Amino acid sequence: MIRVVLSCLLVVAVAGVVFPAADAARADSTATHVETTADEIASAASELVADEDPAPAGLAGPTRRVTISVPRESWKRIEVSSLTIRGGTHLELVAHTATGTTTARRVDVPRIRPVDGVLELEPGEQRLTLTLRGDSTAPVVVIDTA
């Protein structure tokens, strides 16, 4: 009987150490995923500006398509309840997780703008279209969902 009680206490003690560490690792993996996603979008935008010229007003500009994954709940990542994309002279991705934490990543890029000012994405695979447009000052990359 004493062995059973001691075994249960040992299991509870080990679980008390392992579970918080596992949650911290999942949070780190989610943050790394958001950073990588921001870098992928920024790289595609930078390549688009470097390789193409904006089309004249009224014509469709050159585009790039980027497929990203907004994490769902899994054994290695915390679910991102929403991923917000903002632009300007930098690209900013803000991930709000189901556990209440927020992860943000800012990357310097050429001028970039989500089609409605801010783009909100839900968990799962998302396809984005980056379009190069010209305006009075400089080219701007417009991001929209495909």
Segment 44-66, tens digit of pLDDT: 999 998 888 887 777 788 999 99
What's the one-letter identity of residue 141?
Answer: V
Segment 66-113, tens digit of pLDDT: 999 988 877 777 888 899 999 888 899 999 987 788 888 888 888 888
Instruction: Give the residue carrying structure tokens 């990542």.
Output: 77
Specify the pTM: 0.80
Helices H / strands E in the chain, number of each: 1, 7
Residue 128: band (very low, low, confident or very high) from pLDDT cuts 50, 70, 90: very high
pLDDT at 17 over 60: no
As a whole number of angstroms, the distance between CA 90 and CA 100 comes to 25
